[in-house]
Amino acid sequence: MKRNGVTIDPTFAEAFPMKATRLLITAHNLAWARHAAVAATGFATSVIACGCEAGIERELPASETPDGRPGIALLIFAMSGKELAKQIERRVGQCVLTCPTTAVYAGIEEGEAVALGKNLRFFGDGWQISKLIGGKRYWRVPVMDGEFVAEETTAVVKGVGGGNLLLLARDTDAALAAAEAAVAAMKTLPNVIMPFPGGVVRSGSKVGSKYPALGASTNDAFCPSLVGLAKKTELTSETRCVMEIVIDGLTEADVGAAMRVGMEAGIALGAGKGLLRISAGNYGGKLGPFHFHLHQLLGEGAA
């Protein structure tokens, strides 16, 4: 399949089940809510080493938050509910509780309840108090700028992690332009995050390594510097840069929609702007049950 001169590979991205939650962070103004959200989603690009994958979903106007203040919605994904609960408590405790003027609330209503403010309340050293409003319990913890308010629990739901696109381009400028356009398009959609810096990863990996201690290593088939050296390459001499975008979403449909708009954004730039090919990473269907076929996402009949 070709669109606007860009070849779309007849392949699929392979994704896997995860556990997910949404947190709503509010503050005196949007700047402080963002400070807390950025800190809370730090070091959260990949479950390979970070324990979770997290990112900012969107900004929230005061009209959409529980306390009528501006806020940020963030999504956190982990491989198990137990690990997710641990990550929530650590990140909220160290990055939101500590941030001036913030409060934190559950952003998903239905699902398995895990602690949000339930344990963090003990920071109040006995001075903390709770309020039951509309059937929900909130904790008020005294801090030096007033009080930190946290909903007692948040809900954990099933999610999908590892949707991905590989953007193969003529050079670094073209690859970055395509990746930035794709990420910008994806960010307009709800229920998804792109957890890597700027939404883009240049160190795409394959499963396994020549070194037994490593579970993942560089995806040599997509490394331009290894063309002619590696036993197998997916590149031609014309392709000098590859960028990957990884997508996590609350549902399979959310991930598919993000991949589709991301591809469309890259295709709009076209081969004239240096994007030569779009592909995706999979492991023969052995890693996860969610398979996002690129041609199907764009429409089989596309020219």
Identify whether residues 252 and 153 lie together within a single domain: no
Q: pLDDT tens for residues 123-147?
A: 999 999 999 999 999 999 999 999 9
Identify whether residues 132 and 208 lie together within a single domain: no
**How distant is the alpha carbon of residue 259 from its chain centre?**
13
Residue 180 gets the label, from left (phi > 0), alpha (psi -120 to 50) or beta, of alpha
Rounded CA gap, 199 and 197, in Å? Answer: 5
Q: What is the mean pLDDT of residues 60-80?
A: 98
Residues 6+ apart with CB under 8 A from 109: 155
Q: pLDDT tens for residues 253-275?
A: 999 999 999 999 999 999 999 99
Q: pLDDT tens for residues 221-251?
A: 999 999 999 989 999 999 999 999 999 999 9
Q: pLDDT tens for residues 8-24?
A: 999 999 999 999 999 99
Rounded CA gap, 24 and 66, in Å? Answer: 9
Identify whether residues 221 and 259 lie together within a single domain: yes
Identify whether residues 143 and 192 lie together within a single domain: no
Distances (CA, A) of 154 to 20, 36, 107, 166, 292: 10, 18, 7, 34, 29
Q: What is the mean pLDDT of residues 76-86?
A: 98
**Domain endpoint, select from 129, 157, 185:** 157
DSSP state of 127: -
Q: pLDDT tens for residues 190-222?
A: 999 999 999 999 999 988 899 999 988 999 999
Report the CATH number that the domain containing residue 168 is assigned in CATH. Answer: 3.30.70.520
Q: Residue 207: its pLDDT value, please?
A: 85
Q: pLDDT tens for residues 98-108?
A: 999 999 999 99
DSSP state of 46: -
Residue 263 lies in a domain: yes
Identify whether residues 101 and 196 lie together within a single domain: no
Identify whether residues 64 and 95 lie together within a single domain: yes
Contact in structure between 58 and 65 (CB atoms under 8 Å): no
CA angle 263–245–71, rounded 5-degree value = 100
pLDDT surpassing 50 at residue 302: no
Identify whether residues 141 and 169 lie together within a single domain: no
**Domain endpoint, select from 101, 132, 157:** 157
Rounded CA gap, 103 and 96, in Å? Answer: 7
The residue range of the domain holding 101 is 20-157
Residue 303 lies in a domain: no
pLDDT surpassing 90 at residue 5: yes
Residue 195 lies in a domain: yes
Identify whether residues 278 and 214 lie together within a single domain: yes
Residue 72 lies in a domain: yes
**Domain endpoint, select from 139, 157, 175:** 157
Identify whether residues 264 and 279 lie together within a single domain: yes
| Helix, strand, or coil (residue 266) | helix
Identify whether residues 212 and 188 lie together within a single domain: yes
pTM for this structure?
A: 0.95
pLDDT over 90 for what percent of the chain? 93
Per the structure, the count of domains in the chain is: 2
Q: Residue 98: its pLDDT value, please?
A: 98
Token pair for 160: 């999908």
Q: Are strands 2-3 and 6-8 parallel, antiparallel or unpaired?
A: antiparallel
CA angle 175–250–103, rounded 5-degree value = 100
Residue 181 lies in a domain: yes
Identify whether residues 234 and 252 lie together within a single domain: yes
Identify whether residues 219 and 95 lie together within a single domain: no
Q: Residue 216: its pLDDT value, please?
A: 87
